[in-house]
Amino acid sequence: MNAIASDKTATPPEPSNYPELAVEHGETFRRFLAGVLLVTTQFLQAVALLTVAFAIGAGWWAGLALFILIGAAVGLAFRRSAIFWSLEAVETVALILGGLIAGAFLR
């Protein structure tokens, strides 16, 4: 009976006793913030491209220039990884090809 009573009064372990948990949570939070930055940058680039190209009427190439400028500014300011830069490169190439193809058919 005495052993059962002592189990009920046991205190939970202190977080300082498990430093690996703190490292794991820190890494998870860092990756979460990196994902939020990536998604926010993509959203900002899309809105800027479409606003300049269609709402303002400055044209596709002006919107694409702003798209590239925003991506480069965020990438350099936050020292983004190679994944970010490869995504930016692929998107830029796809948008250039899309602009050229659409431009050829819409003339």
How does residue 5 score in pLDDT terms, banded at 50, 70 and 90?
low
Average confidence (pLDDT) over 41-45: 96
State both tokens at 77: 């300011």
Q: Domains in the chain: how many in total?
A: 1
State both tokens at 68: 């590239």
pLDDT for the residue numbered 73: 96
pLDDT > 70: what percent of the chain? 78
> Is 101 within a domain?
yes
Residue 6 has pLDDT above 90, yes or no: no
> Is 45 within a domain?
yes
**pLDDT 10s digits, 75-94:** 999 999 899 999 999 999 99
pLDDT for the residue numbered 14: 64
CA–CA separation, 70 and 34 (whole Å): 16
Domain residues for the domain of 25 are: 12-105
63, 52 contact by CB (below 8 A) = yes
> Is 60 within a domain?
yes
**pTM beyond cutoff 0.75:** no
67, 52 contact by CB (below 8 A) = no
